Chains A and B, each alone.
Chain A
């Protein structure tokens, strides 16, 4: 246990050391804020589970430099995103556009939820029917009542 805690501590400490290093690369704070906002929407292709804002990959650095340059040139956010998509495809966007090839991606979760709901309703209805039809007959009821009376005595 102690050893695990030590490991955990070392890992966390290492992460903190990394976190402290992030250099501010543009002097202008508003440019930097826009850069972060844009690059959080973008996937780093080298380490695919990181955003471009958070990645320390060499390519991510280069791409941030490009974005910074485009901001300085007065390009809009959409133009910058288009620039990235033209080179790396929809895959760079964390929120890909809705189009035929991504319909399943966007609609899939709702399809699954709909399917689940339908199954649930169907099961509940069937159960209710089972309960309704498997009721006791009058004969069984009188028998049960007489048995209960007997035990009460």
Chain B
């Protein structure tokens, strides 16, 4: 009986490691941009292409950058929550319309509501690359100095909003 103890213990350790591994999301890749200045960009706005949105405009306030697209199914999933959140006017939410058609994006917002303070159009996805976007929707929390403090990959859930994003925003706003 005793001779089985060691293999059994080794097996138990393996099971624990695998169990921990199962709780991790392989899609969640740690972003190297956290703690770094938000990459600067100036892009035309969705509703008025003659006007630009620039990261520099946001200096001095905490804001969220939400990368979305009308073709993105998960964006539709998080959208109602974002609309609700925008109503609280906690922080400005800037949309980055990622690799999208302007007409589709406008129609999408008309139908589902527009939570964004401003929307920048990244039609070729070049700004998305600078932000390390690999799966829309993605949300960045950017502080008053223009430093990226957090990145959330995938749709925002009520839990991630209440437990991660809002406390951080509150902290940074002080």
Contact = CB atoms under 8 A, between A and B. Distances in A.
Nearest to A61: B125
Interface string A21-49: 00000000000000000000000011010
Given A45-B29, A48-B26, A87 B131 contact: yes
**Chain B interface category by residue count:** 10 to 19
B69 to A, nearest CB: 11
A85 interface: yes
Interface of A is mostly: helix
Interface stretch (B30-38, B46-54, B60-68, B106-114): B30-38
Nearest to B32: A89
Interface in B117-161: 124-126, 128-135
Residue among B30, B32, B124, B126 having the largest count of chain A Cβ atoms under 10 Å = B32
A52 to B, nearest CB: 11
Contacts of A91: 29-30
A45 B30 contact: no
A85 B31 CA distance: 10
A86 interface: yes
B7 to A, nearest CB: 11
Contact of A62 (B26, B31, B129): B129
Contacts of B26: 48
B99 interface: yes
Contact of A86 (B32, B125, B134): B32
Interface in B20-43: 26, 29-33
Given A58-B99, A66-B129, A85 B134 contact: no
A17 B99 CA distance: 27
A58 B31 CA distance: 20
26 contacts: A45-B134, A46-B134, A46-B135, A59-B133, A62-B124, A62-B125, A62-B129, A63-B129, A66-B126, A66-B129, A85-B32, A86-B32, A87-B33, A87-B129, A87-B130, A87-B131, A87-B132, A88-B31, A88-B32, A88-B132, A88-B134, A89-B31, A89-B32, A89-B132, A90-B32, A91-B29
3 tightest A-B CB contacts, nearest first: A45-B134, A87-B132, A89-B32
